[in-house]
Amino acid sequence: MTAMTLKDLAEKMRKIDFGMLTTRTKGGALGSRPMSNNGEVEYRGDSYFFTDTSTTTVSDIEADDNVGLTFTGTPGILGAPPIFIALEGKARLIRDKALFAEHWDKDLDVWFEDGIDTPGLVMIHVRAERIHYWDGKDDGEVIL
């Protein structure tokens, strides 16, 4: 199999709703939590997530913008192993409602009942710097 491109990986990631976002805590430990990408993964390696400003996710990113994302796909045909994707990148906190609107999905209303007007809403933008993947017996890396 040929090596996957960033576009190939973005297509695979788009089909995986939840991943794990890992940050470094103030004490130096790693903290991970599930986040939904709402199918929005751009070909440049950008991922967007919404959360509340009061979360430790936000305070972790304010202290250290280095983050990790992991995604696991569903098993393939005839029980083939799923794809595994590990991404390293930089996180940026966005508090601009106009940008919220560009990335909002109606499914987020379950978590944020006032939509982009939800008090304390913040968007996390993760720009990938390195992506490693395992797809069956194939694996590879994309450096951005």
| Spatial separation of the C-alpha atoms in residues 28 and 47, rounded to whole Å | 24
Query: Where residue 81 falls among pLDDT bands split at 50, 70, 90?
Result: confident
CA distance 121 to 51: 6
Write the pLDDT tens digit of every residue in 104-132. 988 899 999 999 999 999 999 999 999 99
Q: Global pTM?
A: 0.89
pLDDT score, position 15: 84
Confidence of residue 12 (pLDDT cuts 50, 70, 90): confident
**Residue 2: pLDDT over 70:** no
Mean pLDDT, residues 10-34 taken together: 91
- Across 131-141, average pLDDT: 90
Query: What domains can be seen in the chain, in order of their start residue?
Result: 6-143 (2.30.110.10)
How far is Cα 137 from Cα 144, in angstroms, rounded to an integer? 23
**Residue 102 scores a pLDDT above 80:** yes
